[in-house]
Amino acid sequence: MAKRILQIIDAPYRCTIEEQDDPAIWITHAMKGAGGEFGVLLRASAVNYAVKGQDASGLSFGDRKQTQPMRVEHELARLMEKDVAVYVVEEDVKERGLSSGDLLPGVRSVTRAGVARLFGEFDGVWHW
Partner 1 sequence: MSEKKKITVSIMDGPFENARTVTALRLIDIAARRGYDITVFAYEGAVSLAFVKQTAHANAVHGRDAAEEDHPLPREWIAALLQTATANGGSIDWINCGLCVDERGMSEAIPGTRRGSPADLLKAAEAADGTLIIGTR
Minimal distance in Å, beta carbon 16 to partner 1?
A: 12
Question: What single string gives the DSSP state of each residue in the chain?
Answer: -PPEEEEEE-S-SSSHHHHSS-HHHHHHHHHHHTT-EEEEEE-GGGGGGGBTT------EETTEE-SS---HHHHHHHHHHTT-EEEEEHHHHHHTT--GGGBPTTPEEE-HHHHHHHHTTSSEEEE-
106 versus 124: smaller Cβ distance to partner 1: 124
16 versus 103: smaller Cβ distance to partner 1: 16
Q: Give the contact letters, 33-72, x = binds to partner 1 (CB under 8 A), - = no.
A: xxxx------------------------------------
Only one of the segments 2-10, 49-57, 62-70, 107-115 lies at the binding site for partner 1 (rule: CB under 8 A); that segment is 2-10
